[in-house]
Amino acid sequence: MNGYFFQNGSTFVINSQGKKHKLCEEIHVTEVKKNISTGKSSISVSIACKDGPTDCIMSRGDLAGNFYSKLTACGLSMVATVANKCALQEILLNSEKIANRIYMHDWLGYRINGTDIDFYGAIGEKDGVKSEYSHAEKVASKGTFEDWLSKVKPLVAKKPELVIGMAFGASAPVAALLKLAGKNSEVPIWGLVGESSKGKTSTLLLAASVWGVPTNTGLIENFNGTQKYIYASLAEKFGFPSFYDETSAQPAWDFTQMVYKISTGNSGGKCASDGSVVQPFTWMGSFTFTGEKSILEQSNKNKGLFARVLEFDYEWTSDKKMAEEIATLVHESYGTAYQPFVSELDRYGLNLQKKYESIQHKLEEILKPKGNVAQRIINKLAILYTTIVVIDESWGLEVDRKKVLKLLKESYEKNIPKLSNAEAAYDCIKEYISTHANMFPEENGRHTFGHNAQQGELSTRGDRKCAWILDGVFHKILESAGINLSSSDYKEMREKKMMEYFGDRYKKSHKMSGMSVKCVCILLGDIEEKDKDNKDADSNSIKLNTLKGSKRNLLLA
């Protein structure tokens, strides 16, 4: 009968005639690596022959039949391998059972696992099984959190701008959790812009040091590759930040489409040459970049872009000495600060969403936004300030929050696009229609007037989509936004084809669900901007009623 045995450091096999002979010095599986993201496993086989020891790497599936070609390629005699195939397979299968096991993951950030949600960084854990990130060189750690914090604290005390810079990266898990709760639909894009020697790159390195290795071989990417490469690098991230240095590397790029795709977290689907569907890359987190000039200068400057990209032109470091201190800090300590921050987010539970909404309302009172773009900027600043609050509490930085709010207010005023009163009104009305879609059914739909507090309906005029809005609702929308239209404002809306004009008036009787009512007609579509991706965040939420414990409470309103 066939078999094998080990004796005096050598491996012997027994053939079908019962004769034994030496196969090699040593052969056994030493390690099994399983990727929990793909479900695939690889095994390492240690072989010691007359030519010396070697390691043979093969897939778990190779043990079923293709192992002999792998072994011969690694130095084992082909004659011996083929002649003793069954014994070799038995050796490998038995030693594989007791071999050291390592688990890997390809994703970064949150993953929903059954009834729970877990965070994966350099290390992940599910049901007591720990896994390591497959590109460990990017998210490795050095030093201790206490060492890192002791050096960061005095820097932040001198320059509160630095805590804003660190919050750019740390906003990634906050944005992801708010998306799951239905309160956020966009990936925040943060820009550190301005002339050289302002400390932009130093701040980017400091922000990256929270999460892993703050170098160009670690977490710091650049714009030297293609846009498709950038989308691929963002994939498999949900609640984990991305850092890109120097947009000036691509002076000829039009960033318009890239901004839209990064913000929506989707690279866009397409078909392969054979007609099959190629699945798009998807992600959610935060995207932080540096550049000497605004990224919007290399775009078509649609107003929707101003709501997707927020740029900050600060003196990030006070002098050259501070920049050198940061360089020394991030060289000696990194990759440890995200863990207490993520743990604090977990402890927040339901209060994270409440904190965000409270901050959102506070910023609205202070900044008094008018229109869709301004409101979306407020929403992103609310994510940023919520992040700063959690950073302050989890790290104990003792941030001067009044100074931080003042800095954010200054940035809001610089980021808000210059809109005329008419443009602000148009923007505000479109936002209202978008976020109250159930009150604006399609024309000729099966709705009775008054159903769902109907306030208008969607229709077409020629080749344009339009919305008929009850006259009283129209004025209430503008009144709530603090907008008062003059006759010249109405004229501008008419000339820019934002609003229909009926010979000598802006109001007209319109039959809605069998009743004639006074309405205004707002023209929709490609007017001043094309921003079809702005959707109610509720449409992007997922059902989370099965999640357990504090992590479940974190996501449910």
The three-state secondary structure class of 18 is: coil
For 36-93, write each residue's pLDDT tens digit: 988 899 999 898 876 678 889 998 888 887 888 888 888 888 877 787 888 888 899 9
Measured from the Cβ of residue 16, the count of other Cβ atoms closer than 10 Å reads: 8
Band (pLDDT 50/70/90 cuts) for residue 448 is very low
Specify the pLDDT at position 271: 65
Phi, psi dihedrals of residue 10, rounded to the nearest 5°: -125, 160
For 263-281, write each residue's pLDDT tens digit: 999 988 766 667 676 788 8
Classify residue 398 as exposed, middle or buried by CB count within 10 Å of its CB (0-12, 13-18, 19+).
exposed
What is the average pLDDT score of the chain? 87
Residue whose token pair is 């060492």: 147
Mean pLDDT over 441-459 rounds to 69
Band (pLDDT 50/70/90 cuts) for residue 128 is confident
CA gap 145, 170 in Å, rounded: 16
Name the token pair of 71. Answer: 């072994």
Residue 229 in this model has a pLDDT that exceeds 60: yes
Name the token pair of 474. Answer: 């129209």
Specify the pLDDT at position 317: 97
Of 534, 175, 525, the closest CA to residue 375 belongs to 534
- pLDDT above 70 coverage of the chain, percent: 90
CA gap 341, 490 in Å, rounded: 50
Helix axes 256-264, 227-234, angle to 10 degrees: 10
H runs (alpha helix) in 31-120: 67-73, 78-83, 85-98
For 328-353, write each residue's pLDDT tens digit: 999 999 999 999 999 999 999 889 99
Name the token pair of 202. Answer: 């130093």
Cα 27 to the center of its chain, rounded Å: 45
CA gap 347, 489 in Å, rounded: 50
Classify residue 144 as exposed, middle or buried by CB count within 10 Å of its CB (0-12, 13-18, 19+).
exposed
Name the token pair of 387. Answer: 């992040």
